[in-house]
Structure 1
């Protein structure tokens, strides 16, 4: 390959109304979408001006592997952390063409903005709350810098995890009773814990205060920080002030905790998370978990307090911290040049390069 090429192709949405029942599980809906999208994927690949060297799919993309076989393309699964989609046609033109000098100027300006002392915007809170929340992320990290090393518990159940209102109340009491500092990414409570990817924002309560015990927000003002819906997780977990993570044990969150040396309170909710929790607690020894399944029963405040203290101040905390720090150093080594993961990915890249060259020769 003589140049880097990035061409984004957006596939049209598919209607699965007649393929699954209205109350089908999220997993079933996603699988139906992936099956229904295959003709559009096939058409998109055929319409490209070049033949891709490989097809890389995520966990749910196995249905597309037969399409790769039709085009004689090697296929690789890949789990990519998701973000809210932005259509290419909705951004300004220079951002689509990276060969355009304007693109480079926009990137330069964007990198310069965080260097200023403040940003004045012609908007207000209710107009663009998410934009303002994102801009205040630096403020969050600034607060973390004021906390003692390893003193903050980070609480997040992923982009799709939700708790019942009763469980949120117990978790709030557990955090308060533990007397530890904390940052909690709060999502609206739900009757279901099996993910809210298709129902985000449809929680039962109307305001954050109604999620918690009476007076909770006032009592934790000096030690707790509540953030709605989303937080910069990687930056938080990598901060020295963070000493524990109450997590749903999604694999991305699991690796982000381990590679930053952060002990975990395993709180699996759905999908493969229970298996991940078992690995973390029983095999790796870097986590503790409730005595009951959090996805089936309500975990009480006293048990939550106990788990927090187990990974922060109790005698067992030293053992857990040492275990996870050992894995952190192992992760750094394997990702460095000459490490096993570095070498494995290099082999994949070389194989793709050979495949590409072979395709070019055959085409000529």
Structure 2
């Protein structure tokens, strides 16, 4: 067979981008006939999709390249949140770059032929461009398989049963969804589905998922067998669980600076001096931050718990700015008076966190997390129990999965919401935080054993003849069979 090229178009969000690169690397390892071109969009929230990361991947893989698309001017009246309008605006540039790849392919008998587009869950509008070139589209879904099933369910509920999902906001309705074994509280759906402004945008995305030739999901069968089996009735495109796809050398690909190297070394040295499984790690993702009042409640809860802690404390962006949080110059200004002195023996406040290395460290005994899907998979991989504190996107849904569906997590909150750059509607008290941390660090033995078992299965899934390894073989074969 002639060599084949895949065109990856990830969303301009660092967590989506990195896991897309990880699946690309696995595909290249699996079949030497494949090569991959990434078309990379820039946004204020991808900021440092570091070129050093791209360079290291190119050096390791050889058959991969990154083409950076030009920046686009967006109409300020467009709802640019969630990157949908940015992706829409990039369609002409995508078409231009793919035209060049086609010319390149036709110019030499040895050049690879385009086998298809691999699109992010947010990039489904680019199926239009793939159709113009007569090539199939595949989706790389960066959330749970159960959440994929939920998107199909909500779209069918709206389009076929004429139910308005925004009516579920703050309701006590429970939904029986095929992708979940447990009844699902509808108020835990993402704000994008519960809000009238964004529902039409997301329904358009959900509908187009059905047009894909196949959907790769960053999960593994042993974790989500119920959800994955729910796709087998022939009403959906083929769904392939190919994860967990983790960047286990995260800090090496970060924006490498001497300052960050020093921070990394300092954190690791501090952890080296703590007893095994004694430290609770608090981190709320690349977009997570809190106002001063909530920061003080977290600090009081930590202090009252008496547990050792490593806390990634980030400064919110200025009001009205769609930016990632930054590190505090002086964290003491937002913490209770004397907190740093009183906890100096047992706690450490940091800004940026080399999360993979932290979770891998034997002194970490628990993780207070925003439940982003990448962080959730990392906690499972490293066998670190989670206390849930979701903030935005589908994180409330992920918290439900971990607490109720999988029975692997402790709840601090399940339906806390703090949308990007907006004040939360509630303050979680120090008492509630203290209780959650104590439950997390003294987690019952059955939950601990269950997490250890699923952690071992997550690693086996990627090994030769493991479930995800086998599913990835099927992906490659289907891509080759579907080539135009």
Q: TM-score, normalised by structure 2?
A: 0.57
The alpha carbon displacement at 1:3 in A equals 7.6
Structure 1 residues 335 and 201: CA distance shift in structure 2, 3 A: closer
Question: 1:52 and 1:134, CA in 2 relative to 1: closer, same or farther beyond 3 A?
Answer: farther
Alignment of 1:153-302 (within 5 A): 153-189=280-316, 198-201=322-325, 207-228=330-351, 230-290=352-412, 293-295=415-417, 296-302=425-431
Q: CA deviation at 1:332?
A: 1.6
Matched with 2:139 is 77
> How far is the alpha carbon of 1:285 from its aligned partner?
1.4
Describe the SS at the equivalent of 1:8: strand
1:186-233 residue CA offsets vs partner (Å, 9 max, x unmatched) = 1114698xxx99323579x863111211111112212111111x2111
Aligned in 2, Cα 1:129/1:175: closer, same or farther, shift over 3 Å? farther
- 1:289-328 aligned within 5 A: 289-290=411-412, 293-295=415-417, 296-313=425-442, 316-328=443-455
Structure 2 contact 379–386 (Cα < 8 Å) conserved: yes
- For residues 321 and 359 of structure 2, the distance between their equivalents in structure 1, rounded to whole angstroms, comes to 23
Quote the Cα distance in structure 1 between the aligned partners of 2:69 and 2:99: 13
**CA offsets per residue over residues 319-362 of structure 1, 9 Å max, x none?**
3222211210121221211111110012112333455xx56xxx
User: Contact conserved, 1:165 with 1:189, CA < 8 A, in 2?
Assistant: no
Q: After superposition, what is the alpha-carbon deviation per residue over 1:238-277, rounded to whole angstroms, capped at 9, x for unaligned?
A: 2221111111101001101011111111001111011100
1:142 aligns with 2:265: no
Contact map agreement 1:168 1:189 (CA 8 A) in 2: no
Q: Distance in 2 between matches of 1:53 and 1:73?
A: 7
Are residue 340 (structure 1) and residue 340 (structure 2) matched? no
How far apart, in 2, do the equivalents of 1:131 and 1:43 lie? Answer: 39
Aligned residue number for residue 81 of structure 2: 26
Deviation larger for 233-242 or 246-255: 233-242
Gaps of 5+ in 1: 82-113, 115-127, 360-364
Q: Aligned pair 1:44/2:173, yes or no?
A: no
Q: Distance in 2 between matches of 1:147 and 1:202?
A: 27
For 2:135 and 2:303, the matched residues in 1 are separated by 54
Consecutive aligned runs of 4 or more in structure 1 exceeding 4 Å deviation:
none
- Matched residues, number: 301
The structure that has the greater radius of gyration is 1
The corresponding residue for 2:225 is: none
1:268 and 1:339 mapped to 2: Cα distance?
31
- C-alpha distance in 2, partners of 1:169/1:244? 21
Partner of 2:231: none
Give 1:294 deviation, angstroms: 2.9
1:139-173 superposed Cα distances (whole Å, 9 cap, x missing partner): 32232222221111111111111212111110111
Kindly indicate which of the two structures has a greater share of residues assigned to strand.
2
Change (3 A) 1:248 1:3: closer
CA distance in 1, matches of 2:446, 2:304: 23
How many angstroms apart in 2 are the aligned matches of 1:25 and 1:323?
A: 41
